[in-house]
């Protein structure tokens, strides 16, 4: 034991040295680029060209670092590939989990939601932090003691067999795939804005970065790159607001000073209303364009939906496979618990700063834009206005001063003073534009772009790995390989047929409208066929371990390509997609996992019925309200959601369901259909569909378990083993 | 069958879990139901309305501290019952 302990202490010190040097190197790089910018300006290099060079520097330098780490930590061992050899110390695992957790939605989107929704946006902040308490007290340490490689592994063991495993894989793939598509889309958005690339191309550039990290080294490589990515993203997130806070209040701790900013916002809001520059949202009139005060609760969400989001995001945290699997990598159960604490600490650093971002930029907009004449607009407004109208004034994209003048002149009686309802900003812009709003050098903008990229890449890595691991470990290794040769080949051929069939269907039917030409379709088919053709000649000479890892890598490649293809079709509303992923994970996984650990009497039949019922109703609610609202209204008794402030229905269903309405015959409903996402039961937004699924899941598991025969005494003994930290993992015991 | 020692260990573990679950529930939901009442107070020095502060920072700080306290308490229980891992 003593030697192992000494070895792990040495390993720990070595990690500290390496990441210390890395952080120093990164800071030196920032200073170097800053010097470059200063020097470039001295020698009269044109501003726009210089900015672009700085953007490229940051994006490619950081990508190169991740790739080097990814290649350097490649591995050919199964336990290294799936769980990083189970020797990641609690502190570093916490950092890696932080990066795994914080996605493009957290980094880029959250401060924007807080800006627009004020108090109500805090539901996301609360929901995405408190869940770690549930991870630690209910789930994580017990799964670590169990010794699984994946979450379905646990379900299969506890609920006797491959049917439970299969259900677990379906839940995992559905929620992770929804989530990863949003990440790759976010990567593409950042690359597009800072490198001026076409979105489709940018998505694939980001993809290459992701694959370099994850493909060769699996969990091991992802762990060490995620730590590097965490350092980049936290430095990038905090630098601009620390500076802003120091400039405005003389104290470089924004979390302490933004209370004053909130007071000033409240005063300014009242002033705007008094001067007739804004109309206050009241229970009588709360139309679009009215002002919702920053600290007033329940103006965007009704209390039910506000607390629903908190509940769903928290429980979803404790059910998302890519997060749970991070705690499989610690050396011990004790370290797994401490590691959850460190994870939340590192996440907390960003999340409790996000409201400060929102408050500072809101104050800036309220004082320097609203209530001022259009001639005084700062240049940064137009640099964002030209990109797809991310900022619009007087209802038109603010691409130049002339465009703004023309747009406002078209409004009768407009005096040229910008009113509250004249100004609109896309939520994704808040964080990315803060350095420019604050008048910081462009090097800080480049840094923020690199941070956003790190956030999106690290989450995408973790998710892709979770999906590919489930497919290679659970489906291939545990379900297909043990079959007899005839059965094995049949299954493989059927799966291949389904995959090839759906790809051909995609390319023939769907690809056309998205502008994927005939040549490109052949290229895609060719690239898709390449990995199996490369692998095939070697296949029969491989041993089982190599076969397993090869399958894992090829599948990782395919999953990544599929989600990139989906992302390049520009799905809308990232935040909602992420919310769905949480609700699906919550309804499908949480009841079965927690009851499997905490209630010995839970039976296989009970758990399987519970997963199907809970997850089924969640999926039904989601799909119906999003894609088939007409069906929901006619057959499932759904009604319009209500406006939280006025309590009146959001949409006029009688008019929309009338036989001559153009919306009623739209199957499935497009995003532009006013009924999509706006109908439901009990005024429940479909982000919160887990609120229907989880209680039902618990109930069904409880009732059905009591009706069926109790689990064997052998199984009960295994559960007792899971509950005690001492001893070998249960899986090891079972296999030896 | 479980020994008495193991039974008490699990009982104490369960009680610890329920305590933390209750604290978690209070700071996730209950306290924010009174946001309007709390907003009438102001955090001294920092000038935040109290209800807003609890949601934006207060609850988060409680969660972080709670996790380290939980890890320490659970480890102590494990050690007292001799089921902790070797150091």
Q: Are the beta carbons of B71 and A340 separated by less than 8 Å?
A: yes
For the segment A461-485, the average pLDDT, to the nearest whole number, is 83
- Tell whether A719 is covered by a domain: yes
Mean pLDDT estimate for chain A: 84
> Cβ–Cβ of A137/B51 closer than 8 Å?
no
Q: Does residue A59 fall inside a structural domain?
A: no
Cα A607 from chain centroid (whole Å): 28
Average pLDDT over residues A371-383: 84
Instruction: State residue B69's pLDDT score.
Output: 96
Say if A275 falls within a structural domain. Answer: no
Within-domain flag for A221:
no
Q: Which of B4, B60, B87 is the best residue to mutate to test the A interface, defined by the most A CB atoms within 10 Å of its own CB?
A: B60
Chain B residues in contact with A255 (beta carbon < 8 A): 57
Q: Of A362-366, A380-384, A519-523, B60-64, which has the strongest mean pLDDT?
A: B60-64
The pLDDT of residue A41 is above 50: yes
Within 13 Å of residue A248, how many CA atoms lie on the same side as its CB?
Answer: 23
pLDDT band at A137 (very low <50, low <70, confident <90, very high): very high
State pLDDT tens for residues A164-173.
Answer: 999 999 899 8
Report pLDDT for A570.
Answer: 54
Instruction: Render A591-631 in DSSP notation, one character per residue.
Output: HHHHHHHH-TT--HHHHHHHHHHHHHHHHHHHHHHHH-HHH
Q: Between chains, do B71 and A345 touch, taking CB under 8 Å as contact? A: no
Least Cα separation, residue B84 to chain A (angstroms):
5
Highest mean pLDDT among A5-9, A282-286, A588-592, A676-680: A588-592
Cβ neighbours of B46 in A, within 8 Å? 256, 259
Task: Please give the average per-residue pLDDT across A713-725, as a whole number.
Answer: 89
Range of weakest confidence among A110-124, A266-280, A321-335, A549-563 = A549-563
Give the mean model confidence (pLDDT) for residues A140-153: 89
The yes-or-no verdict on residue A289 having pLDDT over 90 is no
List pLDDT tens digits, range A113-132: 888 888 999 999 999 999 99
ipTM of the complex: 0.96
pLDDT band for position A473 (cuts 50, 70, 90): confident
Substitution target from A9, A259, A330 for chain B, most B beta carbons within 10 A: A259
Domain-embedded: residue A683? yes
pLDDT band at A401 (very low <50, low <70, confident <90, very high): confident
For range A459-471, the mean pLDDT: 85
How many other CB atoms are there within 10 angstroms of residue A465's CB atom?
Answer: 29
In chain A, residues with a C-beta closer than 8 Å to the C-beta of B51 are 295, 297
CB contact under 8 A, A126 and B67: no
Range 19-78 of B in CB contact (< 8 A) with A: 20-21, 24, 27-29, 32-33, 35-36, 39, 43, 46-49, 51-53, 55-57, 59-61, 63-64, 66-68, 70-71, 74-75, 78
Check B32 against A720: CB less than 8 A apart: no
CA distance B77 to chain A (A): 11
Q: B18 in contact with A at a CB cutoff of 8 Å?
A: no
A445-459, A504-518, B17-31 — which is least confidently predicted? A504-518
Alpha carbon of B45: minimum distance to chain A alpha carbons (Å): 9
- Interchain pair B29, A307: CB under 8 A: yes
- Per-residue confidence (pLDDT) for residue A1, from 0 to 100: 46
Local structure of residue A712 (DSSP, 8 states)? P
Average pLDDT (A220-242) is 91
Is residue A318 predicted with pLDDT exceeding 70?
yes
The C-alpha of A731 sits at a distance from chain B's nearest C-alpha, in angstroms, of: 17
Question: Do A435 and A227 form a contact (C-beta atoms < 8 A)?
Answer: no
Shortest distance between the Cα of B79 and any Cα of chain A, in A, equals: 10
Categorize the per-residue pLDDT at A44 as very low, low, confident or very high, splitting at 50, 70 and 90: confident
**In chain B, which residues have their Cβ closer than 8 Å to the Cβ of A134?**
24
Choose among A255, A260, A348: nearest Cβ to B64. Answer: A348
Of A295-299, A326-330, A573-577, B50-54, least confident by mean pLDDT is A573-577
A262 to B13: CB separation less than 8 angstroms, yes or no: no
Question: How far apart are the C-alpha atoms of A689 and A614, rounded to whole Å?
Answer: 10
Which pLDDT score is estimated for A736? 42
pTM of structure: 0.90
Rounded distance between C-alpha atoms, residue A470 and residue A462, angstroms: 12
Q: Name the residue with higher pLDDT: A517 or A225.
A: A225
Higher-pLDDT residue of B79, A651: B79
Q: Which residues from chain A sit within 8 angstroms of residue B56, using beta carbons?
A: 122, 125, 352, 355
Nearest residue in chain A measured CA to CA from B63: A130
Nearest to A122 among B27, B33, B56 (CB): B56
pLDDT for A627 equals: 81
Contact (CB, 8 A) for A67 and A222: no
Is there a contact between B63 and A263 if contact means CB atoms under 8 Å apart?
no
* DSSP letter string, A293-324: PTT-SSSSS-HHHHHHHHHHHHHHHTT-HHHH
Query: Which residue is it, tokens 């490619």?
Result: A60
Parent domain of A726: 574-735
Q: Which two tokens stand for residue A644?
A: 């939280």
Domain boundaries in chain B?
A: 4-80
Q: Is A723–B10 a contact, with Cβ atoms under 8 angstroms apart?
A: yes
Nearest-angstrom CA–CA distance, A83 and A328: 6
Comparing alpha-carbon positions, the chain A residue that sits nearest to B83 is A726
Most confident of A5-9, A307-311, A639-643: A307-311
Alpha carbons within 13 A on the beta-carbon side of A561? 14
Write the CB contacts of A583 (distance below 8 Å, at least 6 apart in sequence). Answer: A312, A316, A618, A622, A687, A688, A689, A690, A691, A693
Nearest to A341 among B43, B51, B68 (CB): B68
Mean pLDDT of A183-201: 71
Which residues in chain B touch residue A720, judged by CB atoms under 8 angstroms apart?
A: 2, 6
pLDDT higher than 80, residue A83: yes
| Cβ atoms A241, A595 nearer than 8 A | no
Is residue A611 a part of any domain in this protein? yes
Mean pLDDT for the stretch of residues A401-410 = 87
Using the beta-carbon criterion (under 8 Å), do A341 and B47 form an inter-chain contact? no
**A492 vs A232, more confident:** A232
Report how far apart, in Å, the C-alpha atoms of A628 and of each of A481, A574, A620, A651, A656 are. Answer: 40, 20, 10, 16, 13
Based on the structure, what is the number of domains in chain A?
A: 1
Query: For the segment A254-273, what is each residue's pLDDT rounded down to a tens digit?
Result: 888 888 889 999 999 999 88
Which of A138, A259, A340 lies at the smallest CB-CB distance from B43? Answer: A259
Taking CA–CA distances from A354, the nearest residue in chain B reads B56
């Amino acid at each position: 034991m003593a030697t192992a302990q000494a070895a792990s202490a040495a390993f720990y010190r070595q990690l500290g040295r390496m990441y210390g040097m890395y952080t120093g190197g990164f800071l030196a790089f920032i200073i170097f680029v800053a010097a470059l910018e200063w020097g470039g300006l001295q020698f009269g290099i044109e501003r726009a060209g210089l900015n672009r060079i700085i953007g490229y520097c940051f994006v490619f330098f950081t990508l190169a670092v991740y790739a080097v780490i990814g290649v350097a930590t490649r591995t050919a061992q199964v336990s290294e590939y799936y769980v990083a050899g189970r020797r990641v110390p609690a502190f570093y695992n916490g950092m890696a989990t932080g990066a795994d957790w914080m996605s493009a939605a957290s980094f880029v989107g959250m401060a924007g939601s807080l800006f627009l929704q004020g108090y109500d946006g805090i539901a996301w902040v609360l929901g995405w932090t408190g869940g770690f308490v549930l991870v630690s007290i209910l789930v994580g340490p017990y799964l670590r003691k169990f010794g699984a490689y994946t979450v379905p592994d646990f379900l299969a063991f506890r609920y006797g067999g491959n049917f439970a495993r299969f259900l677990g894989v379906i839940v995992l793939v559905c929620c992770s795939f929804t989530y990863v598509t949003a990440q790759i889309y976010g990567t593409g958005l950042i690359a597009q804005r800072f490198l001026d690339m076409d979105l489709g191309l940018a998505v694939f550039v980001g993809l290459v970065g992701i694959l370099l990290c994850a493909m060769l080294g699996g969990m091991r490589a992802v762990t060490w790159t995620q730590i590097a990515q965490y350092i980049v993203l936290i430095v990038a997130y905090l630098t601009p607001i620390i500076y802003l806070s120091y400039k405005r209040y003389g104290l470089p701790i924004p979390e302490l000073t933004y209370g004053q900013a909130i007071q000033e916002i409240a005063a300014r809001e009242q002033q705007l209303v008094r001067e007739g520059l804004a109309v206050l949202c009241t229970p009588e009139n709360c139309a679009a364009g009215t002002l919702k005060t920053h600290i007033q609760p329940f103006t965007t969400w009704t209390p039910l939906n506000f607390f629903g989001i908190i509940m769903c995001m928290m429980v979803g945290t404790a059910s998302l496979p890519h997060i749970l699997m991070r705690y499989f990598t610690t050396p011990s159960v004790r370290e797994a618990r401490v590691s959850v604490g460190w994870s939340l600490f590192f996440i907390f650093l960003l999340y409790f700063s996000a409201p400060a971002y929102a408050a500072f930029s809101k104050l800036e907009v309220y004082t320097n834009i609203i209530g001022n004449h259009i001639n005084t607009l700062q240049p940064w407004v137009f640099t964002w206005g030209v990109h797809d109208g991310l900022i619009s004034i007087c209802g038109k994209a603010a691409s130049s001063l002339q465009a703004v003048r023309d747009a406002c002149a078209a409004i009768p009686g407009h005096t040229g003073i910008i009113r509250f309802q004249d100004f609109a900003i896309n939520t994704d812009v808040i964080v990315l534009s803060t350095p420019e709003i604050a008048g910081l050098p462009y090097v800080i903008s480049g840094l923020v772009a690199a941070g956003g990229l790190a956030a999106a890449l690290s989450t995408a890595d973790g998710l892709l790995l979770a999906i590919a691991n489930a497919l290679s470990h659970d489906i291939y290794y545990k379900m297909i390989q043990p079959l007899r040769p005839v059965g094995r080949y049949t299954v493989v051929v059927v799966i291949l047929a389904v995959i090839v069939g759906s790809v051909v269907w995609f390319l023939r039917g769907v690809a056309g409208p998205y502008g994927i030409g005939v040549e490109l379709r052949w290229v895609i088919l060719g690239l898709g066929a390449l990995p199996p053709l490369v692998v095939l000649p070697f296949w029969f000479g491989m041993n089982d371990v190599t076969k397993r890892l090869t399958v894992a890598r090829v599948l990782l490649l395919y999953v990544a390509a599929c989600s990139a293809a989906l992302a390049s079709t520009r799905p809308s509303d990232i935040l909602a997609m992420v919310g769905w992923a949480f609700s699906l994970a919550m309804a499908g996984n949480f009841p079965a996992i927690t009851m499997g650990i905490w209630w010995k009497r839970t039976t296989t039949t009970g758990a399987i019925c519970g997963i199907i019922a809970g997850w089924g109703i969640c999926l039904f609610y989601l799909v119906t309200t999003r894609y088939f609202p007409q069906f929901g209204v006619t057959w499932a008794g759904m009604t319009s959601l209500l406006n939280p402030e006025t309590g009146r229905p959001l949409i006029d269903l009688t008019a929309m369901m009338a036989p001559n309405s153009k919306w009623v015959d739209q199957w499935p409903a497009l995003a532009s259909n006013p009924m999509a996402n706006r109908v439901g039961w009990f005024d429940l937004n479909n982000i919160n569909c887990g609120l229907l699924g989880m209680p039902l899941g618990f109930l069904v598991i409880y009732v059905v378990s009591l009706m069926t025969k109790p689990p064997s005494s052998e199984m009960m003994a295994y559960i007792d083993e899971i509950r005690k930290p001492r001893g070998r993992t249960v899986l090891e015991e079972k296999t030896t | 069958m479980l020994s008495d020692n193991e039974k008490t260990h699990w009982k104490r573990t369960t009680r610890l879990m329920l305590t933390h679950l209750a604290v978690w529930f209070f700071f996730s939901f209950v306290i924010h139901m009174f946001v309007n009442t709390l907003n009438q107070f102001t955090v001294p020095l920092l000038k935040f309305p109290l209800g807003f502060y609890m949601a934006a920072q207060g609850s988060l700080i409680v969660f972080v501290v709670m996790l380290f306290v939980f890890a320490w308490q659970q480890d102590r229980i494990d050690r007292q019952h001799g089921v902790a891992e070797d150091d």
